[in-house]
């Protein structure tokens, strides 16, 4: 199995190997440079030795020259200023020369020997000078012998020894430029080699990057364009590095996208709802087959049509305004519009749409609500039937019971009044249930007559206390209405109904000798009303469903009997119709129902909601 080499490793190898070679070449260049510097320092050192030997020979020559003649030996002193200066110069120069040659044992030994010989020669001069200037007179023959001895101790031997060293050092110094030239040539050769190598290496790396990386990345880029255009992709790139893996992942992603698009297309094609796309000019550019069942037209017939032409004359302007507001992102809620079908019939639809700024398109889902509208109309008819055909007879029955009660007041039969009272109570319950159902439907359909005006909550408290006090006394429950000066803007009769319903529920569930508390506060722009009892409370799992139709808390036991389960539903509908909220709070013992109403404004309005 071939080892996997990542693209990063390849690049590091192709970069690090040339760098190592360059470091080696630079090391060789540095070595040559060091040799050149050493050679230059050696030449300078040789020049310094040669110069110092010349100074010594010059001083020795001057010394010998001064005492060369017989008259000089006789008349020129050794310890005068010039003599001292010449001898001091010689010994100082010898000291410098020994310092220069301390790392060169052969030359140093010659220098030491030369210094010793020079000292011996100076001693001979001193001895001759002492004899010459002694107290004992010497004859001519003795003078001649002393002159010969002086000549025999001349500095020729010393000078010759030093000249040999000077010539050697001078030769070395003279050869230094040639050595420097050799070093320069080698350095130039290395630099040229390094430059050519860098050039070749750069070309090779460029070719590698172009073929191994850039070309393959270009294939990946081409694949992205082909995928966007729906064209076939290039074959998968072979290899094990990151680019090959990227291309393989891209092909897998393209396959997944293709499968997802196929499934999406299948969902759209088989969707019951009509799904379409409009361009910025509201023309249809895509549609699913559901158009056939909704409009009686194939998708191909719709393409290019102006969407506004599909709507009925009464809804064309509303549809146009809806699309314009969508493009401005001012609306997101669905809208109900009427469409014309190919047969000339109309169909009711609900449009849910979304504007895409990036694609300049409106994506629409159109749901046929014709059947729903038919059912709603049927419900209205049934409601009207109940109102006329059921409630009216019940009212008549109630009146009959009232008459019977009056006629049978004088009857001695005890069971008859009891049966009449039972029948009337059940008739009242049926009538109350019908009224509650009708009110809920009115509120939902928006046909509940509402008269909004400003009034004090205290008035509602008074009305509620008058209506509920008898029922409270009957079961031994006290009512406590807190003082309140809050003024709200609402329908007072409906608020009375909400408050009375909540207080009646609290009385029903409260134990004897407990108190139902009713109070009000202000929070922001709303009044917050609360009804609190000391009953068994509402289980936590029932809090969320207590306002649903026909729902009654199980914790009430027998006290649930007799209720329709619609009272809290009506309370919720009335409160929300005014723009408020209602909720229940229960901590296990006792329950508090809270609802909010808008505070009074300067002007009051009335109308139908």
Chain segment 124-164, per-residue pLDDT in tens: 777 776 666 665 555 555 555 655 555 444 455 656 666 76
By DSSP bridging, strand 515-523 and strand 478-481 are: parallel
Q: How confident is the model at residue 495 (pLDDT cuts 50, 70, 90)?
A: very high
Please report which confidence band the pLDDT of residue 73 belongs to, taking 50, 70 and 90 as the band edges.
low
With a cut of 70, say whether residue 553 has pLDDT above it: no
**Residue 335: beta bridge partners?**
351
Residue 330: strand, helix, or coil: coil
Closest CA to 381 of 450, 445, 432, 443: 445
Task: Convert the pLDDT of each residue in 530-541 to its tens digit.
Answer: 999 998 888 888
Structure tokens at 495: 């608020």
Reported confidence tier of residue 606, pLDDT bands at 50, 70, 90: very low
pLDDT value for 594: 95
CA of residue 545 relative to chain centroid, distance: 41
Top pLDDT among 245 and 158 is at 245
Q: How many residues appear in the chain?
A: 609
Please calculate the CA angle 593-594-596 and round it to the nearest 5 degrees: 150
| Max CA pair span of the chain | 205
pLDDT in tens, 309-333: 899 988 899 999 999 888 888 777 8
pLDDT the model gives residue 482: 93
CA distance 346 to 366: 14
Tell whether the model's pLDDT for residue 562 goes beyond 50.
no
Q: What average pLDDT is seen over the chain? A: 77
DSSP alpha helices (H): ranges in 287-361?
A: 290-295, 299-302, 316-327
pLDDT band for 518, please (50, 70, 90 cuts). Answer: very high
Q: Are 597 and 527 contacting, i.e. CB atoms less than 8 angstroms apart?
A: yes
List, for residues 420-465, the tens digit of each pLDDT value. Answer: 666 666 666 676 667 777 777 777 766 677 889 999 999 999 999 9
Residue whose entry in the numeric block shows the structure tokens 């808008």: 598
Of these ranges, 51-65, 350-364, 559-573, the one predicted with the greatest mean pLDDT is 350-364
Residues 148 and 204: their CA atoms lie apart, in Å, by: 85
The mean pLDDT value for 85-109 works out to 80
Structure confidence at residue 607 (pLDDT) = 40
Cα dist. 205→4, 200, 402 in Å? 21, 9, 110
Please give the pLDDT value at position 605: 40
Dist CA 15 CA 8 (whole Å): 11
90 SS3 class? helix
Cβ atoms within 10 Å of 587's Cβ, excluding its own: 10
Above pLDDT 70, what percent of the chain?
A: 69
What's the per-residue H, E or C state across 342-372? CCCCEEEEEEEEEEECCCCEEEEEEEECHHH
How far is the C-alpha of 125 from the C-alpha of 147, rounded, in Å?
Answer: 10
Residue whose token pair is 């509620």: 464
Q: State in Å, rounded, how far the first CA of the chain is from the last one.
A: 79
532 close to 590: Cβ distance less than 8 angstroms: yes
CA dist., res. 419 & res. 421, Å (int): 5
Region 255-259 average pLDDT = 80
Confidence of residue 478 (pLDDT cuts 50, 70, 90): very high
pLDDT for the residue 192: 80
- Is the pLDDT reported for residue 409 higher than 70? no
Asked if the model's pLDDT at residue 199 lies above 80, the reply is no
Looking at residue 476, what DSSP letter applies? T
Return d(Cα 527, Cα 495) in angstroms, integer. 12
- Dihedral sign from CA coordinates of 29, 48, 170, 112: negative
Q: Which two tokens stand for residue 506?
A: 């609290």
Give the whole-angstrom CA distance, residue 184 versus residue 108: 32
């Amino acid at each position: 199995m071939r080892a996997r080499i990542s693209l990063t490793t390849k690049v590091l190898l192709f970069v690090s190997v040339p760098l190592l070679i360059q470091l080696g070449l630079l090391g060789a260049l540095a070595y040559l440079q060091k040799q050149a510097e050493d050679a230059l320092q050696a030449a300078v050192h040789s020049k310094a030795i040669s110069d110092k030997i010349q100074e010594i020979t010059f001083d020795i020559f001057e010394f010998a020259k001064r005492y060369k003649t017989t008259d000089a030996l006789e008349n020129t002193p050794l310890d005068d200023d010039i003599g001292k200066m010449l001898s001091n110069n010689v010994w100082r120069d010898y000291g410098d020369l020994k310092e220069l040659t301390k790392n060169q044992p052969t030359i140093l030994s010659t220098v030491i020997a030369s210094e010793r010989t020079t000292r011996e020669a100076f001693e001979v001069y001193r001895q001759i000078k002492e004899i010459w200037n002694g107290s004992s007179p010497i004859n001519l023959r003795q003078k001649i012998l002393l002159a010969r001895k002086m000549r025999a101790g001349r500095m020729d031997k010393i000078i010759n020894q030093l000249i040999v060293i000077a010539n050697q050092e001078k030769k070395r110094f003279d050869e230094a430029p040639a050595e420097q030239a050799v070093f320069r040539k080698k350095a130039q050769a290395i630099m040229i080699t390094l430059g050519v190598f860098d050039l070749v290496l750069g070309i090779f790396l460029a070719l590698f990057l172009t073929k191994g990386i850039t070309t393959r990345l270009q294939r990946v880029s081409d694949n992205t364009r082909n995928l966007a255009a729906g064209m076939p992709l290039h074959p998968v790139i072979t290899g094990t590095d990151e680019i090959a893996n990227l291309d393989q992942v891209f092909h897998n992603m393209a396959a997944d996208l293709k499968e997802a698009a196929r499934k999406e297309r299948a969902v759209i094609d088989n969707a019951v709802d009509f799904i379409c796309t409009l361009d910025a000019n509201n023309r249809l550019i895509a549609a699913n087959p559901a158009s056939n069942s909704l409009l009686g037209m194939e998708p191909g017939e719709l393409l290019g049509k102006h969407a506004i032409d599909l709507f009925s004359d009464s809804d064309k302007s509303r549809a146009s305004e809806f699309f314009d507001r969508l493009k401005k992102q001012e609306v997101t809620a669905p809208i109900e519009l009427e469409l014309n079908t190919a047969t000339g019939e109309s169909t009711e639809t609900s449009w849910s749409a979304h504007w895409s700024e990036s694609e300049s398109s409106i994506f629409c889902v159109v749901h046929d609500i014709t059947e729903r509208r038919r059912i709603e109309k049927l419900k209205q008819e049934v409601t009207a039937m109940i109102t006329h055909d059921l409630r009216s007879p019940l009212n008549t029955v109630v009146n009959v019971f009232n008459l019977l009660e009056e006629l049978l007041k004088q009857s001695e039969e005890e069971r008859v009044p009891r049966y009449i009272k039972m029948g009337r109570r059940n008739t009242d319950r049926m009538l109350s249930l019908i009224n509650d159902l009708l009110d809920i439907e009115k509120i939902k359909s928006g046909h509940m007559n509402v008269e909004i005006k400003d009034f004090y909550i205290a008035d509602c408290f008074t009305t509620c206390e008058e209506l509920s006090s008898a029922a409270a006394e009957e079961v031994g429950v006290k009512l406590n209405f807190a003082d309140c000066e809050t003024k709200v803007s609402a329908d007072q009769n409906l608020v009375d109904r909400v408050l009375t319903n909540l207080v009646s529920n609290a009385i029903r569930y409260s134990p004897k000798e407990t108190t139902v508390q009713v109070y009000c506060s202000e929070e922001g722009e709303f009044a917050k009303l609360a009804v609190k009892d000391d009953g068994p409370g509402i289980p936590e799992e029932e809090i969320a469903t207590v306002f649903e139709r026909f729902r009654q808390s199980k914790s009430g036991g027998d006290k649930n009997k007799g209720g329709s389960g619609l009272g809290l539903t009506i309370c919720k509908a009335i409160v929300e119709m005014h723009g408020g909220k209602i909720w229940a709070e229960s901590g296990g013992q006792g329950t508090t129902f809270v609802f909010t109403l808008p505070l009074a404004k300067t002007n009051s309005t009335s109308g139908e909601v």
